[in-house]
Structure 1
């Protein structure tokens, strides 16, 4: 199934739910309030939202983990009928603003009708895909989502978009399902389990790699083992609770006060090695020893250095389309060096001077200028 087919499948399924022609697919039962209570919503929260806003489509309570403050701007990815948006609106108050994004016309109409019931002036709902948010750059304080990112066929792009729309220092607050172990082939290919928030669940390591690629820091993925009792009801008798679990996912976009160096990401995609640096075993390559020392020096200069070992973290390679393209040309393209997501070196370990030059950092061991430049 290609990306467009997957989006169409999800759009049709949730459009039918909004229109009342289908029972809730993702994380839902006919008793939506009971489901919400099991996900951590309190009676006071349930009383705040208009009838019809809670469809039981979720696996947690993201606005509760977002630490929302009065006056903040919040974007909800996959806002459905508006349940979490209305709760967020109460927290940010009249000086704040909540923007719900959904790709389903029927859900959008339902959310707007719900907003009209209660006269929320600080909530709006926009038609759009979470991979292509109709939201301006650097405009949101918080991006939240409730059991929706797992439905996307392009999860890395979702996190890149969330990073784009967040202000410096902005926060990501997500409740979603994560994969514990691979699904059997029949379950992985089941369209019902895809729309039911099971077959599309990514592993925590994949999610972290995508968030780091986007630029997020302070990443935390906290699995909720107790959610298995909830999840087993999504597909009774199939044992899905052994394969996926709900998780709280939080991260932060670096603030402007943290400096440009902290914003610079240096990523190294290494070939398969016996350890994370290759500096191990009876015969150590001197080049790797020097390179490890150079990376330590760069980290001391404030550069965010991350290394991925093909033998240990293949998901990080698969999550970067540019790296995949290079590897398809040949495995001799490794190591691949990227700065802020852009490949700058292929097939070699650059020297400290070369890395410093690419990063715009002065290397004290290098001359202050080139010969005959007249600067010294």
Structure 2
């Protein structure tokens, strides 16, 4: 249901409030008692909520269901895991061979989520879920370890500050909260908008860092159709309520591109706005994006054919595919396009050369040229095979090929 809110143009602004403190206080309250205003109505897949404690269902807040895009056996990080609803859904989906890590900054929410780790493990028959304290824009730093260090080394002067900063750097390097290249999927449900604007670029960089090559981010969040007004941006209530920090819809997708992701795709978009404030519409979207286009471009004489229906399409790196044409691609791009777990394979046909070219002997490939791969280049200059069908092999009455 759309909520429309309007305020006088002369509404006073408050430049002195702390975004972070406003968010902490709002979600501390949400851990104590349900806060319906923090929820965007969401239908969750299947019956995964059936075994969850009612307290978690009532006190966990979101705007989508990124859990439906996670598979058995995967390692998943949930950013801003809150009361743990999404994590406990994921615990069922990934199974005993999978792993779920919930990351949150709010002590009240962490206490609530951790309360049910053992009871849920008993219900499931296995334990695969943990909740850790950290900022989602700094997934290298365990705040539980930082707190333990501070208890032993109270900071009272500049030397203490320097020692504290050095210890944080050491922890990120030697005992990271989430290791680099270690996660199959990063999900988040209506939390990225709560991060301060100056930290959002770092946030997307951290999501990219922890994902394995071929891994993906599946993020449900609130976006807006226009840039929020100054009045909205300076309202602490709207910050903690997932409004003021909402990404403009086009900029949200661009953030994934800038971080190095490919195959950025809107999976779900709310048709009607969740809220409208000062004429600006706020709605939920779920976006998926993949990691893994880094590396050298090598020419292994491969090609892909785009099936259609568009006359041509262009990917995040400027490769243009023309419908029905054998487009030359490097080995890396070929693997990305044809991977059954990636975003492109349903729309392309992958073509290998008759004589495979080993990557260790392949020359560099210029991905900027958007060239058509000649069939003779793939078959070989000396390919002179003549092959005809047997006269009765194709069009006999019982045949299915005619």
| Residues in 1 aligned to 2:268 and 2:95: alpha-carbon distance in whole angstroms | 31
Of the candidates 110, 113, 134, which is equivalent to residue 111 of structure 1?
113
Of the candidates 133, 137, 157, which is equivalent to residue 131 of structure 1?
137
Of the candidates 238, 260, 265, which is equivalent to residue 296 of structure 2?
260
Instruction: Answer with 1 or 2: which has the greater Rg.
Output: 2
Tell me the C-alpha RMSD between the 2 structures: 3.3
| Residues in 1 aligned to 2:291 and 2:364: alpha-carbon distance in whole angstroms | 23
Q: Residue 75 of structure 1 corresponds to which residue in structure 2?
A: 77
Please give the secondary structure, in 2, of the residue aligned with 1:246: strand
Q: Give 1:56 deviation, angstroms.
A: 4.7
Q: Residue 335 of structure 2 corresponds to which residue in structure 1?
A: none
Q: Residue 35 of structure 2 corresponds to which residue in structure 1?
A: 23
| Residues in 1 aligned to 2:136 and 2:36: alpha-carbon distance in whole angstroms | 20
Please give the secondary structure, in 2, of the residue aligned with 1:197: coil
1:210-359 alignment, distance < 5 Å: 210-221=255-266, 224-228=269-273, 231-232=274-275, 239=277, 242-254=280-292, 259-261=295-297
Q: Kindly tell me: are residues 240 and 88 of structure 1, through their superposed partners in 2, closer, same or farther at Cα, counting changes over 3 Å?
A: farther
For residues 151-183 of structure 1, the C-alpha deviation after alignment (integer angstroms, 9 at most, x for no partner) is 111222111111111111001111111111123
Q: Give 1:260 deviation, angstroms.
A: 2.9
| Residues in 2 aligned to 1:89 and 1:3: alpha-carbon distance in whole angstroms | 41
Q: Kindly tell me: are residues 4 and 222 of structure 1, through their superposed partners in 2, closer, same or farther at Cα, counting changes over 3 Å?
A: farther
For the pair 1:121 / 2:127, whether they are aligned, the reply is yes
Of the candidates 238, 243, 246, which is equivalent to residue 198 of structure 1?
243
Q: Residue 369 of structure 1 corresponds to which residue in structure 2?
A: none
| Residues in 1 aligned to 2:99 and 2:84: alpha-carbon distance in whole angstroms | 13
Q: Give 1:94 deviation, angstroms.
A: 0.7
For residues 19-55 of structure 1, the C-alpha deviation after alignment (integer angstroms, 9 at most, x for no partner) is 33x7355226xxxxxxxxx412157122132221122
Q: Kindly tell me: are residues 240 and 15 of structure 1, through their superposed partners in 2, closer, same or farther at Cα, counting changes over 3 Å?
A: farther
The alignment's TM-score, normalised by the length of structure 1, stands at 0.60
Please give the secondary structure, in 2, of the residue aligned with 1:132: coil
Q: Give 1:136 deviation, angstroms.
A: 0.5
**Native 8 Å contact 1:27 1:197 kept in 2:** no
Aligned length: 254
Q: Kindly tell me: are residues 296 and 50 of structure 1, through their superposed partners in 2, closer, same or farther at Cα, counting changes over 3 Å?
A: closer
Of the candidates 36, 41, 44, which is equivalent to residue 41 of structure 1?
44
- Relative to total residues, which structure has the larger helix share, 1 or 2? 1
Q: Residue 312 of structure 2 corresponds to which residue in structure 1?
A: none
| Residues in 2 aligned to 1:202 and 1:95: alpha-carbon distance in whole angstroms | 35
| Residues in 1 aligned to 2:74 and 2:268: alpha-carbon distance in whole angstroms | 27
For the pair 1:58 / 2:62, whether they are aligned, the reply is yes
Of the candidates 184, 207, 219, which is equivalent to residue 174 of structure 1?
219
1:130-149 alignment, distance < 5 Å: 130-133=136-139, 134-149=177-192
For residues 287-325 of structure 1, the C-alpha deviation after alignment (integer angstroms, 9 at most, x for no partner) is xxxxxxxx999xx88699xxxxxxxxxxxxxxxxxxxxx
**Native 8 Å contact 2:91 2:99 kept in 1:** yes
Q: Kindly tell me: are residues 261 and 8 of structure 1, through their superposed partners in 2, closer, same or farther at Cα, counting changes over 3 Å?
A: farther
Q: Give 1:71 deviation, angstroms.
A: 1.4
| Residues in 2 aligned to 1:14 and 1:165: alpha-carbon distance in whole angstroms | 26
**Native 8 Å contact 2:63 2:220 kept in 1:** yes
**Native 8 Å contact 1:150 1:202 kept in 2:** yes
Q: Residue 195 of structure 2 corresponds to which residue in structure 1?
A: 152
Please give the secondary structure, in 1, of the residue aligned with 2:108: helix
Unmatched 5+ stretches in structure 1: 29-37, 233-237, 263-294, 305-359, 364-376
Please give the secondary structure, in 1, of the residue aligned with 2:209: helix
